[in-house]
Structure 1
């Protein structure tokens, strides 16, 4: 899930960029910024950090197994035909 604090902070910073004469609309703009940012991020079909970390761990385990199998195949290929 997207960290709401980061979205809130970004929306607050965007609202601060509004000219001083429009401060009355500042909170409304901040809320609109938040909604727009959240909607945009949802459309991006992002994965959570937890999902990313799980898949990274799976990839690392798979890579380790592949390297072990490659080493084993290389070892077997080095054996003379009479040892098989």
Structure 2
């Protein structure tokens, strides 16, 4: 769900910002930071990129259908009102 490369990059940035004595702890600190970040991200209510893209496409198709229906509705209303299309 989360991009491991991004997670690793964030952990690295945090580790680089630490004082030198703390850096010497090396892999242990990096592992702990990664675990904390992963745990916090896991608490967030998020969707992955694939699901987001799918829902974006669904929304676009729905919007297109709505536009078509609005146009048809306007045409029908114009016919019912007895006015030629485009003279509303």
* TM value normalised by structure 2: 0.85
Q: How far apart, CA to CA, are the structure 2 residues paired with 1:42 and 1:36? A: 10
- The alignment status of 1:12 with 2:9, answered yes or no, reads no
Which one has more relative contact order, counting CA pairs under 8 Å at least 6 apart? 1
Map of 1:2 onto structure 2: 2
CA contact 1:15–1:27 (8 Å) conserved in 2:
no
TM-superposition CA deviations, 1:8-66 (whole Å, max 9, x none): 11101111111112232132111111111111111102100000000000000000000
Supply the RMSD in Å over aligned alpha carbons: 1.4
- Alignment TM-score, normalising by the size of structure 1: 0.89
| Mapped partners of 1:16, 1:65: distance in 2 | 51
* Structure 2: tracts of 5 or more residues without a match: 83-88
Ranges in structure 1 where 5+ consecutive residues have no aligned partner: none
Matches of 2:6 and 2:80, distance apart in 1: 62
Describe the SS at the equivalent of 1:10. helix
Return the structure number with greater helix share: 1
